[in-house]
Amino acid sequence: MPSDPIDDAIFWAGAETACEHAGYIEGAIESGERAARQVLEAMRRAC
């Protein structure tokens, strides 16, 4: 999937990576929230 993180170091966000509402502002918000959750999860695993 294009939104999967790479090595817990690169996280994708943007309207085009959204599961729903791709290409729209709602999709950008959705993917930004998803990427933020992925970053937090990666940080927790690293500690």
Q: What pLDDT, on the 0 to 100 scale, is given for residue 24?
A: 97
Q: What pLDDT, on the 0 to 100 scale, is given for residue 2?
A: 73
Domains of the chain: 1-47 (1.10.10)
* Tokens 């918000």, located at residue: 29
Q: What pLDDT, on the 0 to 100 scale, is given for residue 30?
A: 97
Q: What pLDDT, on the 0 to 100 scale, is given for residue 3?
A: 81
45 membership: H or E segment, kind and range: helix 25-46
Total residue count of the chain as it appears in this document: 47
Could you report the per-residue pLDDT of 1-47, keeping only the tens digit for each?
678 999 999 999 999 999 999 999 999 999 999 999 999 999 999 98
The model's pTM: 0.84
d(CA 47, CA 16): 31
